[in-house]
Amino acid sequence: MAKCPYCEKPVSISTTGSDKTNEVRKEVKGIIKKEILYSCPHCDRVLGFGFFIGVSLTGRP
Ligand SMILES: [Zn+2]
């Protein structure tokens, strides 16, 4: 399991499983790019950014 680099508490990126308390918060920014902001559920610090995988499939002809 991943750890938050700031508060060193366990965080989980996967939505599968039952540990919802450790699940990172995912905030979607943008309509076309679908940038995802991940933040720690314990200390609210930003952990990083991600992108939907499907963008490259749907964004171009
Ligand atoms: Zn944290």
Tell me: the pLDDT tens digits for 12-44? 876 566 667 888 888 887 777 777 888 899 999
- Rounded to 5°, angle at Cα 23 from 18 and 26: 135
Å from CA of 60 to ligand 1 middle: 36
The DSSP symbol for 5 reads T
Å from CA of 57 to ligand 1 middle: 33
Segments making up each domain of the chain, as ranges: 2-58
pTM attached to this predicted model? 0.60
Å from CA of 19 to ligand 1 middle: 15
Q: Please, which pLDDT band fits residue 51 given cuts at 50, 70 and 90?
A: low
Å from CA of 34 to ligand 1 middle: 24
Å from CA of 39 to ligand 1 middle: 8
Rounded Cα gap, residues 8 and 16, in angstroms: 21
